[in-house]
Amino acid sequence: MDGTGDDGTTEEAVRRILTQLGDTWAVVGLSGNAARPAYGVAQVLQRFGKRIVPVHPRAETVHGEPGYATLADVPFPVDVVDVFVNSALAGAVADEAVAVGARAVWFQLGVVDEAAYARVRGAGLEMVMDRCPAIEIPRLRRGRSRTVLP
């Protein structure tokens, strides 16, 4: 099973990661460059109530949050590691996420590494890949509205 399908397993993982696994999201690849997708996605995560932690070699402060050069440099626990690096580098980030004790890994749109997915799931973490929380959050909210409203 890959992490990109629209089966119920992936949809449930998306829901659990967004609503149950914690509010501290390390955003790997997030810099102060407003033209990059990570910048806007981090804003959406903040509006959804998540604390974002920029992780980038330049360790820049972004959206009012201090940055760190690596996941290992973050001095507090992170719940979810959101990965905005290319697929060739993503597996190493996923392994770091496991090593620092994250509860989930999220590979952004276009980031796919089946072997990393298998390792992360094998370590007991939730994972999705080739998805974007900025797209999934509105879907999640619409789904809630349908179940609450007549």
| Residue 4: predicted pLDDT | 43
What are 27's strand-pairing partners? 54, 82
Res 39 pLDDT > 70: yes
Res 40 pLDDT > 80: yes
| Residue 10: predicted pLDDT | 87
Res 131 pLDDT > 60: yes
The tokens for 10 are: 């992936």
The pLDDT tens digits of the residues spanning 49-108 come to 999 999 999 999 999 999 999 999 999 999 999 999 999 999 999 999 999 999 999 999
| Residue 82: predicted pLDDT | 98
Burial 65-77 (b: 16+ CB within 10 A, else e): bebbeebeebeee
| CA 40/CA 36 separation, integer angstroms | 7
Q: At what angle do helices 133-148 and 37-47 cross, to 10 degrees?
A: 30
Q: How far apart are the first and last CA of the chain?
A: 36
Res 125 pLDDT > 50: yes
Q: Is 31 left (phi over 0), alpha (psi -120 to 50) or beta?
A: beta
The tokens for 87 are: 């697929």
Predicted model pTM: 0.89
Mean pLDDT of 30-55: 97
Strand 80-83 and strand 51-55: the pairing is unpaired
Band (26; pLDDT cuts 50, 70, 90): very high
| CA 28/CA 82 separation, integer angstroms | 6
Domains of the chain with CATH codes? 8-148 (3.40.50.720)
